[in-house]
Structure 1
Amino acid sequence: MDQAKLVKRLISGDKIVVNELYEKYSAKLYHFAFGYLKSEPDALDIVQEVFVNLWENRKKLNKDSNLNAYLFTIAKNTIISVFRKKLSEKQYLEDLKNKVVVNAIDTESRVNYDLLTEKITHLVDQLPPQRKKVYVLSKEKGFSNQAVADELGISVKTVEDHITKARKFLKDNLSEYGLFALLFIELFVS
């Protein structure tokens, strides 16, 4: 379903659309949060907070709002808040004292979402033709690996190989954008 319809349903108070978005994004949000917080309860709290925030602020959305960017921003800001809270606890401060993750997130949060999506579009255009087809069908159109294989007449293993190589190419070429780009990739490119 297209973004505009999802946003319209969300603004109108359709709770089912929240469930649909939860099914689509909760696992990615959980894995991302767990990767940085190393705590299952904290990661689960992040996921819950993202969707509570989405629901509570749904009327502030414009009908042309980008839900991917919105969820991405909520997750990023919630993780930053958790880091800040944990920093005030002595034990957690000890665990994090040699890490620069919080500063990296603060610094990288200034990276423009539109710049990243534009950069990814440019990078996808640089992929070899078959890899680009696989990537577009899988990541942009949401086809399963089997559906991509059927559509292109190739094996599922070949599809998986193309996706792995495309992700590596994107990660390698977005490394200059740092942690923010890696978060973006994990949430919306994986």
Structure 2
Amino acid sequence: MNNEKLINRFIDGDKTAINDLYAEYSPRLYRFAMAYLKSESEVLDIVQEVFVNVWMNRNKLKKDSNLDAYLFTVAKNTIVSVFRKKLSEKDYLEHLKNKSITNSIDTESQFNYNQLSDKLNDLIEQLPPQRKKIYQLSKEQGLANKTIAAELGISIKTVEDHLSKASKFIKKNLTEYGFLALLFIDLFVNSK
């Protein structure tokens, strides 16, 4: 078939020209795309996309255009777009996977925090009544040792002694929970 006549018909919008163009070039474009993609459904989509693209941009063709070069350039660019899309989808899936891992770590941390918090409350309940009261006034209400001593009618030294013994008891019983417990102790047991 004379390419120049075909290009002229094509540029002029002759719809039968696209059928002739497809019949002549689709087998070669199919083999070309298959060499890169290896998936028949993707290759068929690419071939179809090439012809749609060429038809939509037919006014950019010149009568003396090299049709082979033009069609294969459009095919190559379409294949590159498919690869880019696959890479961005892969990156996105990787992002989702990482987010899901992060969420599961957050959930695990929340579970560990709740577990440690429950254990801390249990340990506080096990303290002798006076020590428990002093500990709660100090750690939960944030009262100064001097204020606690005045409120309970005891010496500051007695308050310090009770707090020290309460902290040692709690630390001893929480350390079995490992590193997270040490962090928890530092945040909630040692601080005021």
**TM category, shorter:** 0.3 to 0.5
Higher RCO (CA 8 Å, separation ≥ 6 residues)? 1
**Higher share of residues assigned helix:** 2
